[in-house]
Amino acid sequence: MATDTTARAGGEFVLGGELPVHRLGFGAMRLASGTFGGPARDPQTGIAVLRRAVELGVNHIDTAAFYGRGDVRAHELIRAALSPYPDDLVIATKVGPLADVTGLPSGQAVPEQLRGLVEEDLRRLGLDRLDLVYLRVGGMAPPGGESVADRFAVLAKLRDEGLIGHLGLSNVDEAQFGEARSVAPVAAVQNHFHVQHKDDAELLSRCAAAGIAYVPFFPLGGGRAPLEPDRLAKVAAAHRASVAQVALAWLLATSPALLSIPGTGSVSHLEQNMAAASVRLTDEDLIELAG
């Protein structure tokens, strides 16, 4: 499959009712390192990936302060590559996790720490206002089991002060989603979801009905639970596409509220991911992929 397709081919969604973004975006987690424990990548490669992503129509970049390895950090790569930022670029970040000595986001900030984390993101990205800030809940644990109201209220106050444009939630269950919505409007939810991990389908439906973006993390399995190629190979062959491209196309076909943010530290891999925007799955394909 050709790799000159742009993100525009995947369609558009209006975040928070005012920020139009292409539904195929870019996740910055792998810019600095392939894994949290892996070696740091050449920062010039990360800068090249980001600039190529914008050339290919990406106008939604997802990042976090803890994305990095050593002195190579996603925030700084984004600023070096793209500042002054294009007018249509939406940068989303996450606050809440606290990295341990290994770099893993295993701890959680208390409400009193969130303002400092938001101000740090503003400084490192070189922005006066963050377009979208997710409250990431639970560290490395599965979603659920704790209240989010106090922390979400802090972010809502920062939004009222103009430091944040829109609020999101990450790694939450339906109860936490409802609790946060009772505090302030939610523009986006970022949870674990892909073609072979569909446990969150009900929350995705609730988001779509409310005009809230649903943004899967680990859209290609994330290395923890890799995609099973045999289940995707037949459809991929029919479209002369890769398994990863079909998996991304499936996300775009699943709901108009779903935004995909595959990440990579390679320009060629980025171009392959963007080409997924032109894969048009048929009803028969979707039945096949449903298993």
Please provide the size of the chain in residues: 291
261 in Cβ contact with 251 (< 8 Å): no
Tokens, residue 223: 């290395």
Active-site pick, 67, 85, 134, 214: 67
Report the C-alpha gap between 182 and 179 in whole angstroms.
Answer: 5
- Are 272 and 242 contacting, i.e. CB atoms less than 8 angstroms apart? yes
Contact in structure between 256 and 14 (CB atoms under 8 Å): no
| 251 in Cβ contact with 192 (< 8 Å) | no
Transcribe 233-268 into DSSP letters.
HHHHHHTT--HHHHHHHHHHHH-TTB-B--B-S-HH
Cβ partners under 8 Å of residue 160, min gap 6: none
Q: Is 214 a catalytic residue?
A: no
CA distance 189 to 134: 8
Contact 186, 168 (CB under 8 A): yes
Task: Find out whether 119 and 129 touch, Cβ atoms under 8 Å.
Answer: no
Strands (E), the chain: 12-15, 19-22, 26-27, 60-62, 68-69, 72-73, 90-95, 97-98, 107-108, 130-136, 164-170, 188-190, 213-214
Catalytic positions are 67
